[in-house]
Amino acid sequence: MDTFNEPYTRAGDDISLDAVREQVRALEEVHKANGVQLSGRIIHVCHYLPVLPTLTSNTSPAAAGVLSPPPSPPTVPGDVPASPTSESGDEAEAGRPQPSVQSKRWKLAPRYGHAAMISGVRSLSATHDQLIVGWTGDILSSLSVGTASAEENDLGTGEQCIPSHLVSEADREALEAELVGYDEDGQGQGIEGNKGNIEYVPVWLEDKVGHGHYDGYCKTTLWPLFHYLLWQDVATEYASADAHWVHYEQANQAFAERIASVLKPGDLVWVHDYHLLLVPKLLRGVVGERGTDVIIGLFVHTPFPSSEVFRCLPRRKEILEGMLGSNLVCFQTYSYSRHFTSTCVRVCGYETTSRTAPALPSNTSSVLSTSGGTTSSLVPLTLSTSKSSSNSENKYIGIDVQGHVVAVSHCPVGIDAERVARDTLRPGIQPKLEALKALYADKKIIVGRDKLDVVKGVLHKLRAFEKLLQDYPEWQGEVVLIQVTSPALSDSPKLERQVSELVSHINGEYGSLDFIPVHHYHQTLKKDEFYALLSVADLGVITPLRDGMNTTSMEFVIAQERTKRSPLVLSEFMGISQHMGDALQVNPWNLGDVAAAMNTGLLMSSASKAARHAALHKVVTTHTSHTWAAVLVKMLLSQINGQSHAKGTPYLPKESLKEKYNKAGKRLFLFDYDGTLTPIVKTPSMAVPSLDALSALAKLTSDPKNIVYIVSGRDQEFLEMHLGHIKHLGMSAEHGGFIRDPSNGNNGAIIKEEQWVNFTEQLDMEWMEEVAEIFRYYTERTTGSHIEIKKSSITWHYRASDPEWGLFQCRQCQDLLENNLAHKRPIEVLVGKKNLEVRPLAVNKGEIVKRIVYMNPDAEFIFCAGDDKTDEDMFRALHVFPPTPSGKATLEAPLSVTLVDKSAPLEVQLAIGPDAIFTTSVGPSSKRTLASWHVTAPYEVVDHMLHLVGETSRSRTVDGLDAEDAPAKGYL
Ligand SMILES: O=P(O)(O)OC[C@H]1O[C@H](O[C@H]2O[C@H](CO)[C@@H](O)[C@H](O)[C@H]2O)[C@H](O)[C@@H](O)[C@@H]1O
């Protein structure tokens, strides 16, 4: 079994909700002590607002905002739809309005569905303020709006759906004002002892966007794919899997903007589910424009399919990039998170990385420790996984998105076990239970309750039941199957017909005038009926073909606690199955297997039933929706690295760059090449500079006040071939191994090799052959990889290899080099972009930068840009200017100078001030870097260069490639 985050699955573990909350509190203290701003508020972003608003004629919107006292919660048995439509990740079922809080303008009622998620979210108000952002859904109205479609939209309840554009601005504002004081339970804000409030923020979507998003892209493209159904099987009527993409984008954008409008510094944002996968990136974009940052978690409630299935999605890259705008992406199970990680590697070409969670104060570590057991090879949820482990060992697996590390984790949603247990005591249940017992006296009762959706496997279950009657004929006339199917949001008449034909077939085959083996009810159950049904069962059978989690199985266990403690047959393709080891687990496609499990369950001894039930009950009541929600908060807090997340690296400001440039008498430019001046491409030889890059370099170098260097890992030959014609351009090759100063240039004539200074000349280079041999070994075993041999460095490239195998081989190779060679040879092993490089220890880009600055102490402006780890050495070098009392900085003579020139001054005084040094990292603002500024792509570096010389870029087609066009052009 895959390892599950420890606290909830291993028998004997008793990590309580209080313990998790204590961990949250401790983490918050650590962050606050480190100067991280936290507002104490959590914003949850859900597709539907958990409030159903109905526009009434009560009064004018101007009077809105004054709430009448809330009525008591409903007590009449049978009048509340079962929460159970609650399977997480499943579609929300908009329940009919229940007895509700009456407002002046809007009638507000709970919207049922997603009960587990919503109860978890609400439980966080024990410790934090909550803000729930969600779509209003269709606007219901008891007003007569007289639209052409009014009749067709009439719901038969005296209400109708009205087009959202008919809701006036004043009514929208009135709803928002009324939601401020709304209390879902009618119990007053904040359950007793709660510290926080819950507020609701509606997202308004035009009808065609709202429905194109949900009924269109969500239900016909993403939902089937995430459940392993490719579109031709389920949605032939849709032209393409891309049909509603535009609405998906628009809806996600509207959510992002709405969140941004209410976001306060220090808020934590949790985005929920597959409806909103673009929100993390879009939200980061919106807040980024304001120059701020935000901490975002994304919880995916559905399964996440294998990369081989996901890659069929036409918008696969957009969806993944959207998700990767998060700081943390969390799934229900380890296997979903593994699929996601592998998809990011295979589809986007990103690599996995591990990162360390922040340490907690020592007095909390004992609370956090859980004993023994295996730890997920991916993400340990607990901050400490063994008593002996130190906090520094708390590694998270992440996806490295150009330096922005997105953590990937898993934590299953639970149910509100206490509330469900309370519900099973409702007085309305017992009479219904007795009625069912009487109806099926002397018969064993198998119960199933599923939404009528292909993925729920109802047809397979019915066939398996038929197989039970065939293979174990002794059950004929002795057992009944009560199968309830609740209507799914998108009706499937074909499936409905198939189910009813199969039911008739089984009943015709195995029934008689006085006995019907299958009782199928296609309806939404009331709460009392639902619990009566679960409680009366001798066996529960829940066998979807795929299910993100499945909460009915957990509700079954609680309902059975006070009746028969009957066993459960569960599909192994549900998220919950990993944690329900004591259920009878089956492959729903193997009908014989399911029939055999049904037989075993029906024959199980009382002792065995009791033991299995006790184990399941413990899992369900320990791992609740409340614990889940608290763990999510803990995990998100663990992603704040205390360094810069609350405030990402700001965007390089064009105008102040130019202002400082204009003021400076002498200016220095230090540019990395690959990934900085030109985008990363599949084949190293194809990384040629764009016309814009060449023109910008030519313009800059033509100004005698400018000293321009390319500081690259490339060799001299490559640099000369592509840049050698630019007059007065300085170059450093092979990560600082060689330099050609611009003063040595010969005005564009072919540069002679002698003009280069070789810093590696005196170095022991015997290691080159040893490294080459190791690289050859890995090249033979890694299809698509190749070796680039330079003068004093050597690079092994695996960009064209299978991404996972390539990375695995790279790590093996790195281990070998570091553990067997690096300690006895003067080398450094560098992990680059899909490459592994080895160069002499004595040289690096930082040393070269110091040399250049030392040689030009009168420079009053420095623009230094780079994209990868080797460029961080340049940024570091430019950070070490301790201000003298005079406000100026001094720089010690670097080794590369003193070795050549013994008479060089020991230190020089620099003319530059720190605010004229523009270290710039190419990558996202959340990338961990020593640079003070960032731009997102190479064409933006060039754009800034051109701006300094009063030019604009001519074409973005070479540098600013569209991601989808890129492969065709040899770009990534
Ligand atoms: O210091 P840089 O100028 O950034 O050079 C670093 C290495 O870049 C090259 O490899 C990388 O870029 C290639 C072209 O985009 C790409 O195909 C490869 O996967 C990257 O690793 C270059 O080949 C190396 O020699 C440089 O050291």
- The more confident residue out of 154 and 926 is 926
Helix 279-289 vs helix 245-262: crossing angle, to nearest 10: 50
> Please, what is the average pLDDT of the chain?
83
For residue 480, what pLDDT band results from cuts at 50, 70 and 90?
very high
The pLDDT confidence band at residue 101, using thresholds 50, 70 and 90, is very low
* Predicted local confidence at residue 716, as pLDDT: 95
C-alpha dihedral, 851 to 852 to 853 to 856, nearest 10°: 120
Same-domain status, 824 and 859: no
Is the beta carbon of 373 within 6 A of some atom in ligand 1?
no
Task: Say if 91 falls within a structural domain.
Answer: yes
Q: Which of 18-32, 175-189, 204-218, 577-591 has the lowest mean pLDDT?
A: 175-189
Instruction: Output b/e per residue, 774-788; b: 16+ Cβ within 10 A.
Output: bbeebbeebeebbeb
ipTM of this predicted structure: 0.95
Q: Give the confidence band of 514 by pLDDT, cuts at 50, 70, 90.
A: confident
* DSSP H or E run through 596: helix 591-603
Looking at the domain assignment, is residue 217 inside a domain? Answer: yes
Pocket lining: 872 vs ligand 1, CB cutoff 6 Å: no
Assess whether 149 and 256 both reside in one domain. Answer: yes
- Dist. CA 651–CA 659, nearest whole Å: 16
Looking at the fold, whether 835 and 917 belong to one and the same domain comes out as: no
Q: Do 346 and 437 belong to one domain?
A: no
Q: What is the pTM of this model?
A: 0.80
Q: Is residue 628 part of a domain?
A: no
- Is position 693 within any domain? yes
Do 245 and 319 belong together in one domain? yes
Check residue 91 and give its pLDDT: 33
Query: For the packed helices 591-603 and 458-471, what is the interaxial angle rounded to 10 degrees?
Result: 70
For the domain that residue 797 is a member of, what is the CATH number? 3.30.70.1020
pLDDT recorded at residue 83? 42
What is the CA(733)–ligand 1 centre distance, in A?
12
Same domain for 214 and 80: yes
Which domain CATH number covers 521?
A: 3.40.50.2000
pLDDT of residue 5: 31
691 and 602 together in one domain: no
Confidence of residue 380 (pLDDT cuts 50, 70, 90): very low
Token pair, residue 967, equals 């492969």
Q: How many domains does one find in the chain?
A: 4
| pLDDT score at 71 | 36
**Residue 687 CB–ligand 1 contact under 6 Å:** yes
Given a cut of 80, whether residue 10 has pLDDT beyond it is no
737 lines ligand 1 (CB under 6 A): no
- Burial class of residue 72 (count of CB atoms within 10 Å of its CB; 0-12, 13-18, 19+): exposed
Pocket of ligand 1 contains residue 351 by CB under 6 Å:
no
Higher pLDDT, 195 or 555: 555
d(CA 713, ligand 1 centre) in Å: 7
Model pLDDT, residue 89: 32
- 418 lies in some domain: no
pLDDT at res. 189: 45
Q: Which of 621, 639, 672 is the last residue of a domain?
A: 621
Residue 479 has pLDDT above 70, yes or no: yes
In a domain, 461, yes or no: yes
Domain termination site, one of 794, 810, 840:
840
pLDDT of residue 226: 95
> Is 674's pLDDT higher than 50?
yes
More confidently predicted of 697 and 527: 697
> Residue 399 domain-assigned?
yes
Return the structure tokens found at 676.
């900085």
Mean pLDDT for 292-314 is 94
Boundaries of domain holding 157:
25-410
pLDDT of residue 378: 25
CA of 772 to the centre of ligand 1 (A): 18
CA of 712 to the centre of ligand 1 (A): 9
799 lines ligand 1 (CB under 6 A): yes
689 and 566, same structural domain?
no
Mean predicted confidence (pLDDT) in 684-705: 96
Q: Are residues 473 and 379 in the same domain?
A: no
Cα–Cα distances (Å) from 260 to 256, 317, 656, in that order, read 6, 24, 27
Rounded distance from Cα 679 to ligand 1 centre (Å) = 10
pLDDT band (50, 70, 90) for residue 134 = very high
> What count of Cα atoms within 13 Å lies in the side-chain half-sphere of residue 429?
21
Q: Are residues 904 and 774 in the same domain?
A: no
Residue 139 has pLDDT above 70, yes or no: yes
Do residues 799 and 894 both lie within one domain?
no
pLDDT tens readout for residues 633-661 = 999 999 886 444 445 788 999 999 999 99
Looking at residue 852, its pLDDT comes to 94
- 99 is a domain residue: yes
pLDDT: which is higher, 527 or 59? 527
Nearest CA to ligand 1 atom 7: 713
Q: Are residues 818 and 855 in the same domain?
A: no
Ligand 1 center–CA 933 separation, angstroms: 22
Q: What pLDDT band is residue 4 in, cutting at 50, 70 and 90?
A: very low
Lowest mean pLDDT among 196-210, 232-246, 539-553, 719-733: 232-246
- Ligand 1: residue whose CA is nearest its atom 13: 684
By mean pLDDT, which of 158-167, 198-207, 805-814, 884-893 is the weakest?
884-893
Smallest CA-to-CA distance from 529 within 50, 74, 73, 85 is with 85
Confidence of residue 185 (pLDDT cuts 50, 70, 90): low
Give the rounded percent of residues in the chain with a pLDDT score beyond 70: 81
Q: Which of 824, 840, 856 is the last residue of a domain?
A: 840
Query: Is any atom of ligand 1 closer than 6 Å to the C-beta of 713?
Result: yes
| 870 ligand 1 Cβ < 6 A | yes
Q: What is the pLDDT of residue 523?
A: 87
